[in-house]
Amino acid sequence: MCGISGFLDTSHRCGEQELRDTVLRMVNTLHHRGPDDVGTWADAEAGIALGHRRLSIVDLSPEGHQPMRSVCGRYVISFNGEIYNFQELRRELEGLGYTFRGHSDTEVMLSCISQWGIFAAVKRFNGMFAFALWDRSERQLHLVRDRLGEKPLYYGWMGKVLVFGSELKALRAHPGFSVKVDRDSLALFLRRSYVPAPHSIYKGVTKVMPGTIATITKADVGRFPKAISYWSVRAAVQQGLSERFTGSATEAVACLEELLKDTVKHRMVADVPLGAFLSGGIDSSTIVALMQSQSERPIQTFTVGFHETAFNEAEHAKAVARHLGTAHTELYVTSEETMAVIPKLPSLYDEPFADVSQIPTFLISKLARRDVTVTLSGDGGDELFGGYERYFLGLGIWNTIRWMPKMARTFAARGLRMLSAQSWDNIFQVMDSLLPKRLRYRNPGEKLRKLAQMLTAGEADGLYVLMGSHWVDPASVVIGGSEPVTVFTDPSDRMAHLHLQERMMYSDTISYLPDDILVKVDRASMGVSLESRVPFLDHRIVEFAWQIPLSMKIRNGRGKWLLRQLLYKYVPPALIDRPKMGFGVPIDAWLRGPLREWAEALLDEKRLRDQGFFYPDPIRAKWNEHLCGASSWEYHLWDVLMFQAWLEHTRETTGV
């Protein structure tokens, strides 16, 4: 795992040393992504400079140094990621007469591209990657991102200079960087708690979309070329529908086990210590079980525990680890230790990001890095096999309200809003003593407020958009901001022929997964120089998951049915069959308590007015309601606070 950056100066104003010096400044901002080595390459005649920071994982020798030139001399690459099938590709190339000086996957990639061309080669790569490839013959720069978007890659034009990098901080280090906050992206952020691709928080800076290749030449000065797709989730869905799995449930479990074992085996290849995150849930337990079944030594597993019972999964993880026989490490952290992460978030995520599980994700990454350099995680299982509670909640709500006239829904929504969330909580607290345990809900007032919001939906997909929204009308909060259409809201990309729950899973796979979950894991792990690998996102698993009928994913009101049957072969059901628990922290209470002074300073009315990004009134109203306990607006407020903290950090450190 590494950090990459570079630029293409079409004006050819700089000599080679100046190019190298500039790209070195850029790439050194990514030291955390690659502390083991640094390299630069430049061609003054072409105006191109590539930089690389290396975290040595496979082939620790100098032969893995980057940027790396192909043997034929035509290509130069700066690569971030891992190609898991590089050994198979290497053997194939050796059969064609290729020889290799080292043992890195980067060298194999270059030979693949030399042999088959970039598009054919990328289709053969099984891995997570983001790389910049300079074609010295055609004078073209290719920016490439993996199929599911595990690795990040930003780029943008600064006048006649195209700059790119793994994180925005690398772009900001270029002397020509001068852009403004994109208010439309800020509106998107308030709705989703992240900035969805291809947008970035800066106007004129974009993200390479997953599964695409963006090719830039001198003729493209000032404009973004159309990226060409070499793989897409949409195509995987369509192929899965046309090639449905027709075997029995037993055969489906066997196929999934064989595929997952192979993906896990490939992701266990490393020349450095390796372990796994373990929450004790279905996804991480499945990955750890398959790791341990293929290891002669106990796998190292890691869990962070919290003293707040509602947020603690450590006991469940310990039980699974004990059963599987892993070398388990758990660390209980206090509220003070957890809150100490918050000042690091603006630099760590480098773009406004407000998924509160970003905090424990950083803590578990920091814990694992003490002992290992590579970890495997269970991310992706919910999206592929129907694990999120909202898939059931959304379908149930839509089936309940779809028959109601819009006027009746409007009146029902008004009725629910007549009482505050706290008032509803008080009512349910009285009722709890009269209800069976299975009918008691955490934060019922919040759920009813959300229900009131969803009652306004005109159709099922619109309801799901509202379920995934924080601020439902961000344009009324962001001055001069309006929401552009994204893959999450675009009606043309909803695949209406799918079942509603499948449409929800598809939507999450193309938006929430790459732009929230994978961003969270990448920044948190790379922030401590830890490589995180995600076996569920092997494209073969994704393609197989879409061949499986919905009845093998969701059955008897429970998700991940097929995955459960596989896990039951390794772990007793009693250890893992329990309600899904989010990976969060008590932000709501912290904002009323120890974080109140910090938040008040960032949400100060004069400060908001002077900065000119937000209308203060709706924000101050929610802040006051939250403080007095009338409602819990922690997620809405956390969105604003994360932008405010990011803005303060970037202005203090860069002046931008």
**C-alpha distances out from residue 408 to 399, 457, 462, Å:** 15, 12, 18
Containing H/E element for 331? strand 327-333
Among residues 524, 614, 514, 616, the alpha carbon closest in space to that of 181 is found at 614
In whole angstroms, what is the distance from residue 36 CA to residue 399 CA?
55
In whole angstroms, what is the distance from residue 380 CA to residue 309 CA?
25
In whole angstroms, what is the distance from residue 377 CA to residue 339 CA?
24
Active-site pick, 2, 14, 72, 255: 2
In whole angstroms, what is the distance from residue 376 CA to residue 277 CA?
6
Among residues 169, 166, 77, the alpha carbon closest in space to that of 114 is found at 77
Token duo for residue 214:
């963006």
**C-alpha distances out from residue 94 to 91, 99, 645, Å:** 5, 6, 52
9 DSSP β-pair partners: 161
Among residues 260, 161, 143, 151, the alpha carbon closest in space to that of 538 is found at 260
Q: How crowded is the C-beta side of 170, counted as CA atoms within 13 Å?
A: 30
Token duo for residue 234:
């949409």
On whether the CB atoms of residues 296 and 263 are closer than 8 A, the answer is no
First to last CA, the chain: 28
Q: Is 14 a catalytic residue?
A: no
In whole angstroms, what is the distance from residue 41 CA to residue 21 CA?
10
In whole angstroms, what is the distance from residue 564 CA to residue 577 CA?
9
**Residues classed as catalytic:** 2
